[in-house]
Chains A and B, each alone.
Chain A
């Protein structure tokens, strides 16, 4: 019996050489122009071309959420999103959450609550939580659970993560309607 085929289900995304494209996008407020192949995923470009390794890769099929980033404010699985589709768009990664001097309230609260253990799910978890609170500043516990359901954590049992998001919502005053 001869077996010369791949035993791994994770070959290159495309069998053929991909064209190189110039892509302009903004990451954490900074403009980038990168030359990338059509089949490159966003997480790979963030990690390799831009050196932003806070975005993690934990699975092959959009099941773990470690790669979660925001695309124009909405969470996406960057491992399975083509970088070229981000032309002209704004990406936010975990590196974009903290200011120079202060942790973001979500970052501070997840540490204070004990919601960080190994930390590998944390960046993705924070991005989902950030997107949730932007659209729903006062989520119920059930809304937190559904909002973060695309992010697996193996360490914490989730309790302290839910607590951290709830604490952040509780300490952040909901902005009154703008006075213009």
Chain B
């Protein structure tokens, strides 16, 4: 077994080329090994000290979040909160402060779990993943990256270095909401992200909704184009909820039955659109939505 601490991105990519697996916080890798799911990889390269992976950069055309940015950073970073609020919502719900301190966006994305919290927000914000090897860089759409539960299309030697999203109009808002049986330390039973851009008359210009933990991978709700031009009212929210429930193909497991998940994904989708629309209108909905309103709100 070997372990290298990369001090530069080139170091890290060279180690990957030699067959090492990247480790940042190790929250998934080490816990998985302790539980006997998968042994630790034979060769590891630590990428948690690479400053170039830990930056959030905003230009006129895009926002670029380094794969090494931690959940703790995501939930408070002003650029993320302003431009990608749904990601901040999701990051704030991940595990405990300790998990958020070491867990990274890249780790969450490349783990490929359909229950990942940052996945649905990235999808509705139109993110692409930047994958690099020692010799090449490519950009991959998320629906091509995630191929199944815990599976990605990344090739050996490829490192996810950033998630990149296009800039959005000021009249946009996004939100992530999930079902939580307790107020903290939850894992997504179901969750939904929404991104809403409003036209000057307050009607919907564009709407995207993606769902967590109701399909083998993060699932984007399709066929929402006909809702453009609608106002965000009960009828629209009910329609979104119905489509989300209808398109979800959830399983029954310890955490919930498929019947319950199907219904709840509609409730979450509705709430996500509602919160995203409020933010698009400039109304304050604190991060995370789950602890700003409803049963999870602070007393």
- Identify the A interface with B (CB < 8 A): 6, 8-11, 13-19, 21, 37-39, 41, 60-63, 65, 68, 71, 74-77, 79-82, 84-85, 87, 128, 131-132, 142, 145-147, 149-151
Contact = CB atoms under 8 A, between A and B. Distances in A.
Contact of A150 (B25, B30, B96): B96
Contact of B30 (A10, A71, A81, A87): A81
B138 to A, nearest CB: 29
Contact of B3 (A6, A21, A62, A131): A21
A25 to B, nearest CB: 12
A140 to B, nearest CB: 8
A39 B44 CA distance: 10
Contact of B1 (A16, A62, A68, A128): A16
B298 A41 contact: no
26 contacts: A6-B36, A10-B34, A11-B36, A13-B30, A14-B33, A18-B1, A39-B1, A41-B30, A60-B31, A62-B27, A62-B31, A63-B185, A74-B101, A76-B98, A76-B102, A77-B99, A80-B26, A80-B27, A80-B30, A80-B34, A81-B26, A81-B30, A85-B23, A128-B98, A142-B298, A146-B184
Describe B's contact surface by its main secondary structure: mixed
Nearest to B102: A76
Contacts, number: 113
Contacts of B36: 6, 8-11
Nearest to B3: A38
Interface in B82-132: 95-99, 101-102
B1 A85 contact: no
Interface string B151-186: 000000000000000000000000000000001110
Contacts of B42: 16
B274 interface: no
Given A18-B1, A60-B31, 4 more contacts: A13-B39, A80-B31, A85-B48, A149-B183
A82 B30 contact: yes
Contacts of A149: 96-97, 183-185
B35 interface: yes
B140 interface: no
Contacts of B236: none
A77 B31 CA distance: 10
Q: Which of A39, A65, A85, A131 has the most CB of B within 10 A?
A: A85
B5 interface: yes
